[in-house]
Structure 1
Amino acid sequence: MIRTGHATREGTETPCADGAHIHRRDNRVTAAVVDGAGHHPDVVDLARHAPSVITLVGMAMGGLVGLITAGRMTGAYGRPPHMSAVYASMEPGHPTGIHWIGDCRAYGWDGQTLTQWSTDQTMGQWLRWNGGVPVEIAATQDNWARLGLSQATEVTCRQVEIPEDVPMVLLVSDGVSDQVTQETWQALCREHPEDPQALADALVAAAEGEEDDSGELYRDDTTVIVLLRPLAT
């Protein structure tokens, strides 16, 4: 049976604008993490509803349809909230399917190496890919998300498959990927290789804030889902 873990830690600004949901049907599990921009009540409200829409529709019709359906929900608000999302579908005997839009991420842990399988849809990443500016300048644009759920279509959503021999898949908001070092990630994966809930708890606890322009400590919301499939025998 696929085991799961989930943890969310509210940042220094409230209320939390991350969201997550896990759905199970027989031996298959679907999961989603979303990360809203800002903390407006509409953003927070969508973060509560979108993850379950993505996982339930994803279970029935696939991750792309799940993201697009959740994206149509943004039109229910006066100003469509900006929200990144990542979805996974894990089932024994199959690769793990990943769909995403924005800068939520999917990682795989094979027991030795942590690999990022998704690519951020940010202006910084666009500049790295297309060139023309120094990498230092591109890094200053990583907070500029180019796409989110409100722009979700067959063209804008991305997809990848993580091989079945990668037993652990992690879905995270950028509060985790930006605030937990790669060394800490890998150390925690080695420490909790068989306990997805302990790993999720440890990752959100490890997120470190930084001083903002006013000198105040700022720490983003952090959300993790860990999926762990049994090794093939």
Structure 2
Amino acid sequence: MHRLTSSPVWATATARGPRSVNADATAAYTDPSTGEVVFALADGVGDEQSAARAAQVAVATAVQVPASQGPAAALAAAQRAVRAEPAGDCVLVVATPVDGGYRVGWVGDVRAYAWDGDSLRQLTRDHTLAQYFRDRGQVPTPRMEHLVTTSVRTARPEEFGHAVAVGPAGLLLTSDGVHKVLTRAAMAELLRVPSNSAHALVDAVLAAGGHDNATALMADLAPALPDLTTTPLPTVTPA
């Protein structure tokens, strides 16, 4: 359990699903001198160990960047670390609590949602070919949903997504193995049940027959809501 002054409680859950490798990764780090927290969730591109390594390196690097520098700095640091690897790529979302809300940065199709105890509000916008065509009034093909237009290895700084959630809220980070199986309404329904959190979402994905890795990280800034049981996060040191 993590409950520092002005810091959220968080929980994570992940499942490999039918894939050969679990290429999703999560990390969180609390600065002992400031109490500031950084959260990160990455989804490796592909079903290989190099994809899993890229995701692990990305989140481990991102959460070590001081929250005061902001998510863009965390994304840039993760990019340098992934580019130093011989192979592998991933998509990444980073979030830092600030002023009762969150600052979020991302590349690719991982997502962040604000949770008010009843409903979810999507903070990110997918960097996919499908979203690119939707934004231009065209109907994408189903395959385009899985083609990302930015990634940690390839994105230019001006392509980093950024958003702010204002006001007290919970935070949900998901890989596409969660939000492409469960609708936002279905996720909210699961989260309304006391003690349900990231684990409930991943369990629901498995029950629905998801075909991808599924990972969720749930953080809560509202002390009136039930505590979340925390799954220990692995410590990864970039090579």
For Structure 1 versus Structure 2, the TM-score category normalised by the shorter chain is 0.7 to 0.9
Alignment of 1:20-169 (within 5 A): 20-25=26-31, 26-59=34-67, 61-79=69-87, 81-91=88-98, 93-131=99-137, 133=138, 135=139, 137-165=140-168, 167-169=169-171
Q: Is the 8 A contact 1:19 1:33 kept in 2?
A: yes
Q: 2:216 is matched with which residue?
A: 224
RMSD across aligned positions (CA): 2.1
Alignment of 1:188-227 (within 5 A): 188-192=190-194, 195=195, 198-208=196-206, 219-227=211-219
**TM-score normalised to structure 2 length:** 0.83
**TM-score normalised to structure 1 length:** 0.85
**In the alignment, which of 175, 194, 197 is matched to residue 173 of structure 1?**
175
Q: CA deviation at 1:139?
A: 4.1
| Alignment-mate amino acid for residue 229 of structure 1 | L
Query: Residues of 1 paired with 2:183 and 2:70: CA distance?
Result: 32
1:32-76 superposed Cα distances (whole Å, 9 cap, x missing partner): 000011122211112222102111115363211111111122323
Query: Residues of 1 paired with 2:164 and 2:135: CA distance?
Result: 21
Q: CA deviation at 1:88?
A: 0.6
Structure having the higher helix fraction is 1
Q: CA deviation at 1:138?
A: 4.3
Q: Is the 8 A contact 2:57 2:81 kept in 1?
A: no
Question: Mean alpha-carbon deviation: is it higher for 22-31 or for 113-122?
Answer: 22-31
Q: Tell me the secondary structure at the aligned position of residue 142 of structure 1.
A: helix
Q: Is the 8 A contact 2:38 2:96 kept in 1?
A: yes
Q: Tell me the secondary structure at the aligned position of residue 127 of structure 1.
A: helix
Question: Mean alpha-carbon deviation: is it higher for 5-14 or for 70-79?
Answer: 70-79
- Identity among equivalent positions (%) equals 25
Q: CA deviation at 1:184?
A: 2.2
| Alignment-mate amino acid for residue 41 of structure 1 | Q
Q: CA deviation at 1:159?
A: 0.5
Question: Mean alpha-carbon deviation: is it higher for 116-125 or for 106-115?
Answer: 106-115
1:167-215 superposed Cα distances (whole Å, 9 cap, x missing partner): 21101100110112333211111113xx4xx4111111111488xxxxx
Q: Which runs of 5+ in 2 are unaligned?
A: 1-6, 225-239
Q: CA deviation at 1:218?
A: 5.9
**In the alignment, which of 184, 187, 192 is matched to residue 185 of structure 1?**
187
Q: Is the 8 A contact 2:57 2:82 kept in 1?
A: no
Q: Which runs of 5+ in 1 are unaligned?
A: 211-216
| Alignment-mate amino acid for residue 37 of structure 2 | V
Aligned structure 1 segments of 4 or more residues deviating by more than 6 angstroms = none
1:138-160 superposed Cα distances (whole Å, 9 cap, x missing partner): 44411110110012332010111
Query: Residues of 1 paired with 2:193 and 2:144: CA distance?
Result: 34
Query: Residues of 2 paired with 1:43 and 1:180: CA distance?
Result: 24
| Alignment-mate amino acid for residue 175 of structure 2 | S
Query: Residues of 2 paired with 1:174 and 1:104: CA distance?
Result: 6
